[in-house]
Structure 1
Amino acid sequence: MEPEQLVSGISPRDLTNQSADQKNGCHKGETSTDPSKEWLHNLWWQVSDAQEETDYYDRTAEDYESVTNQLNWRAPQLCMKTITNWEQKSGGAIPRHSVAIDIGAGTGLSGVALRDIGFTGPVDALEPSANMFALAKQKNIYRDWYGEMLVEGEETTVPGDMYDLAFSVGVFSDRSAKKGSMSEVLRMVKKGGYISVIMVARHWLDEFRDHIALMEAEGLVKTLHVDMFDADMYMREVAAVAFVMKKL
């Protein structure tokens, strides 16, 4: 696996320290008068399975973009920055006409970010919340919608070997889309295709880093680039890791 690239001076040890004693800025049992932090606390501590997660997003869809704005959530832009960082460093490029799928498309902010770095090809969406996707649809980015949750150990109805690029913003976690869910995303992507993901640093450090290293050892993928983003770059009080890998 490629070594993590330092962003704004953060080191792997710093990232570990930021993640060790808290659930990245949102402690269990914490109460807050800040509606945005309360929204995040409820997601991280009150949601325990896929159906609860879908229901939560359905109930809060209308507030989602204002809440993430208050949290200074820059994950869509940073996911795309990791793609362009790899391209600039390596001289490689993901073709901008690629057929892509947005894993956990939400209200479409990640699709907007993809368009902002020049991608012009068709984009499909995997998003279980009908209320969230209703808002995403208004952005006129997405072609087809798969109204399903990415859940570890389950296969979606998304066709296999279909996409040149799969991208995921803030979806992989310790709730529904756990480390084993990465295999389902891999199934969707063509051989030689790309996967770009950004997640909360704690999840990368706890499980995903070792799991992807195992996938590499099995000859399934090659990690091309990893960026680490300090707390407050990804979201207020939250550190993150993003990576680009290629399906072999």
Structure 2
Amino acid sequence: MDSEQPDNEMSLCISTNQSGDHKNECLNGEASNDPSKEWLHSLWWQVSNAQEEKNFYDRSAKNYEIMTDQLHWRAPQLCMKTIANWEQKSGITIPRESVAIDIGAGTGLSGVALREIGFTGPVDALEPSANMFALAKQKKIYRDWYGEMLVEGEETTVPGDMYDLAFSVGVFSDRSAKKGSLSEVVRMVKKGGYIAVIMVARHWPEEFRDHIALMEGEGLVKTLQVDAFDSDMYMREVAAVAFVLEKL
């Protein structure tokens, strides 16, 4: 999700660092014969601020799940897999009756994934697009809805120290929810609560990884798990990083 638009062609390049090997993964395609790539191209290269992002999702809500399915987007399941990986490694299980908030709930696919790994407690949603959330409501997962955008440097109306778990799927990037937005999510969670996030891999090195290290240095959070998912696992030709934090 580079801030500069590529020249002459649709080239969505994702840089990641896995096992010490730096590589570029590029999603190239003809917009005319692949609507899902055209849709992703528009999001990554033509949306530059919070209002544009909200408008984009309002416009594309009815086709959102079609587009993500065509892109083989498996981010919700991988986010939950990272939670499960940490639980298995640590021997600690996050209580399945936990009160949770879905950051950027979209059409509710992430809420469905949370239910699929056994979470039964109340789930609230932070989702700025009313059109997207109208579809999420149909899944009958969410309790309360905060129709707000997560924007770096801004505080939402979500109460602080309220949730046992905050989870976010594909929201953090270089548009609205930049690295500083993590502090707002941490504010929402109780001490001893958890934050689970999955994002495109190129935003992890030197952005979110380093910002989390600063938060750890301030005694705000502890990193519990970091998983790298190679190209095509997260989405077609795109790698991802997922992590779990604990609020201290």
The answer to whether the superposition gives a TM-score over 0.5 is yes
Supply the AA of the counterpart residue of 1:182.
L
Structure 1 vs Structure 2 CA RMSD: 1.4
SS of residue matched to 1:17: strand
* 2:111 corresponds to 1:111: yes
> 1:131, 1:206 → 2: CA distance?
34
> 1:32, 1:247 → 2: CA distance?
46
Instruction: Provide the TM-score with structure 1 as the length reference.
Output: 0.91
Cα distance, 1:237 vs. partner?
0.5
How many positions carry a matched residue from both structures?
A: 232
Q: Provide the identity percentage.
A: 81
- The equivalences for 1:17-96 within 5 A come to 17-18=23-24, 22=26, 25=27, 31=31, 33-96=33-96
Comparing 31-40 with 142-151, greater Cα deviation is found at: 31-40
More strand by share: 2
> 2:70, 2:84 → 1: CA distance?
26
> 1:171, 1:230 → 2: CA distance?
19
What residue is the counterpart of 1:12 in the other structure?
A: 19
**CA gap 1:221/1:39 in 2 versus in 1, 3 angstroms:** same
Q: Which runs of 5+ in 1 are unaligned?
A: 1-9
**CA gap 1:136/1:90 in 2 versus in 1, 3 angstroms:** same
Question: After the TM superposition, which parts of structure 1 deviate over 4 Å for at least 4 consecutive aligned residues?
Answer: none
> 1:55, 1:172 → 2: CA distance?
17
The structure, 1 or 2, with the larger RCO (C-alpha pairs under 8 Å, 6+ apart) is 1
* 2:156 corresponds to 1:150: no
Measured against aligned partners, the alpha-carbon deviations of 1:195-216 in whole angstroms (never above 9, x if no partner) come to: 0000000011240011001111
Supply the AA of the counterpart residue of 1:89.
K
Cα distance, 1:90 vs. partner?
1.0
CA contact (8 A) 1:26 1:40 kept: no
Measured against aligned partners, the alpha-carbon deviations of 1:103-158 in whole angstroms (never above 9, x if no partner) come to: 00000000000000000000000000000000000000000000000000000000
Measured against aligned partners, the alpha-carbon deviations of 1:19-42 in whole angstroms (never above 9, x if no partner) come to: 5xx5xx269xx7452100000000
Supply the AA of the counterpart residue of 1:236.
R
What residue is the counterpart of 1:209 in the other structure?
A: 209
SS of residue matched to 2:24: helix
Supply the AA of the counterpart residue of 1:122.
P
* 2:167 corresponds to 1:160: no
Q: Which runs of 5+ in 2 are unaligned?
A: 1-16
What residue is the counterpart of 2:247 in the other structure?
A: 247
